[in-house]
Amino acid sequence: MSFQAPKGTFDWMPPRSERVLAVRDALSAPARRAGYGYIETPAFEDTGLFSRGVGESTDIVTKEMYTFVDKGGRSITLRPEGTASVVRAVLEHGLPGGPLPVKLWYSGSYYRYERAQKGRYRHFSQVGAEAIGTEDPAVDAELIVLAVDGYAALGLTGVRLLLNSLGCAECRPAYRAALQDFLRGLDLDEQTRQRIEINPLRVLDDKRPEVQAQLAGAPLVTDHLCGACKAYHEEVRTLLTAAGVTYTDDPRLVRGLDYYTRTTFEFLHDGLGSQSAVGGGGRYDGLSEMIGGPPLPSVGWALGVDRTVLAMEAEGLFDAQPATVDVFAVPLGEEARRAVFGLVVALRRAGLSADMAFGGRGVKGAMKAADRSGARFALILGDRDLAAGAVQVKDLTTAEQTAVPIAEVADVLKGKLS
């Protein structure tokens, strides 16, 4: 019997795994340019952090968390999302006592016991960004723009932005009561009815067609916003428009976590089928207090790396065979093999990506390996070349071949590749 990856998980393997690295870099680059610092938190936390912060009424907490008792008798959970851990770390390290907002970005793996399907996995990867400690529509707009710029940098054109406001502690109670009155009159199963009493917004987030069909006449949160929330949301919309961001107002948009307030948003891509969300986020002004901290208004997002890769593949944005190196060296003989090894090391130290033929392959096999690597240039070195102190540089796109002094080959290749 051979082992396989657990159900709902998969392995990223070369060359496709290179796409993951490119996506992570592109999605995080706008945040890094905007002054967001990198944070890395543990892959597991005290279970209470998520049950209190994410919300006991959410599917994540009730059905999807990987929870276990460790050898010290503590209830531990693999992180199902990133925001609660980041806020916990900010509080633990006393960052609210310094300049605000605390601006952080992160990238990592997350775990949920989902119903496994394409685009919905039990182990998945996200890039996230959080601005903690400031209530300002400009911060909300900044984060949305950073996400938009990340998707644009990848060449994606099919990403759509949905925008809404969920109100605040002042106006949410009236909406909650109106929504509960509406939902109690629907034909819903017992578990969903329990949600009505705990957090009725979770019912709006129910993806089952038989539930969605009954929600057409549900009251809208935008009809219950207080004056402050209306003004806040309008300012976010104004700033996004000024930044050239296209969005769609969606008064029925809610997020699957309990901590969201005011600004909420989601990025969709229609090339992914039913799992169309590629990222999302919003404002969570009460999360710090939920987990025992002081009032700390904050906003953030998480962008799915796996789903972004799928979106890019749907748009045909990847080469069929991405190059693994720029230069591939082919030695002809034992003495040449030693010289090629030293040359490849020198090229790498000079900042070039380079590989060589291993295992004593013949010329034909070595050149096939060069083609498979996607390299732009092949370096061919034999006894005559060694005697002349030169190496044959072959352009694999044009088949043009020239002799270059070994001492100059790094500079010559840099010039050609630039």
Find out whether 259 is annotated in a ligand binding site: yes
Find out whether 126 is annotated in a ligand binding site: yes
Find out whether 180 is annotated in a ligand binding site: no
Give the residue among 93, 124, 128 at the shortest CA–CA distance from 282: 128
What are the structure tokens assigned to 267, written together? 């990025």
Find out whether 130 is annotated in a ligand binding site: yes
Q: What is the CA radius of gyration of the chain?
A: 27
Whether residue 393 contacts residue 377, with contact meaning beta carbons closer than 8 Å, is answered with: yes
DSSP state of 145: H
Preceding omega of 15 cis (within 30 degrees of 0): yes
Cα–Cα distance for residue pair 198/180, rounded to 1 Å: 10
Find out whether 255 is annotated in a ligand binding site: yes
Whether residue 53 contacts residue 84, with contact meaning beta carbons closer than 8 Å, is answered with: yes
Find out whether 36 is annotated in a ligand binding site: no
Give the residue among 383, 377, 253 at the shortest CA–CA distance from 327: 377
Say what angle helices 16-33 and 305-314 make with each other, to 10 degrees.
110
Whether residue 42 contacts residue 323, with contact meaning beta carbons closer than 8 Å, is answered with: no
Whether residue 356 contacts residue 331, with contact meaning beta carbons closer than 8 Å, is answered with: yes
Preceding omega of 101 cis (within 30 degrees of 0): yes
CA 232 centroid distance within chain: 27
For residue 108, the surrounding DSSP H or E stretch is strand 102-111
Binding residues for L-histidine, by number, are 81-83, 112, 126, 130, 255, 259-260
Task: State the binding site.
Answer: 81-83, 112, 126, 130, 255, 259-260
